[in-house]
Amino acid sequence: MGTNQSVNTVALEFYEEKFNSILSDYDLSEKQIRFTSLPSEAMLSCEIDKTRHPVVILSGGEPVGFFVLHGWEGVKTYSDNRSAILVRAYSINVKFQGKGIAKKSLFILDSFVKSNFPGSNEIILAVNHQNTVAQHLYKVSGFIDKGIRVMGRMGEQYIYHKELQI
């Protein structure tokens, strides 16, 4: 698997030991922690489930965000598309929020997925109905709400889709 896709100093790389600092010095607001997992928590799930692939968001080479790409085992809760990949535990460290990093990372996500998961034709994610900030970010980044709803640990979740152009 390749590692680096970048646009304007924002890049995505699969997690490696060199990024341990992102796990130990990572903050989210109380509101955000209700909707997502800290990288350290998400990494525990990745160690158990090898269909989960941890990804670090870099800005200027510095780890500033984190998410997990999850294969069919994660997707099947939300979609019957076996060629989709699920984004979960997406976050930007609170110290780096408000700089456009999240939007840039989501725009380069398509090419990262196509390069590293060539069989994928769609990216999906679940976003809590109360998390309007994230909903807006995902929509301006090309995700579409097709009206699918599921119940999550914090209430109703909207399932967003983004088709990948092959």
For residue 94, the enclosing domain spans 5-163
- Whether the pLDDT of residue 3 is over 80: the answer is no
Rounded CA gap, 126 and 59, in Å?
25
User: Length of the chain in residues, anyone?
Assistant: 166
End-to-end CA distance of the chain: 18
Tokens matching residue 104: 């840039």
Total domains in the chain come to: 1
Write phi, then psi, for 84 (nearest 5 degrees).
Answer: -90, 160
Residues 122-145: pLDDT tens digits? Answer: 999 999 999 999 999 999 999 999
Write phi, then psi, for 3 (nearest 5 degrees).
Answer: -120, -35
Q: Domain of 142: which CATH number?
A: 3.40.630.30
pTM value is 0.91
Residues 63-109: pLDDT tens digits? Answer: 999 999 999 999 999 999 999 999 999 999 999 999 999 999 999 99
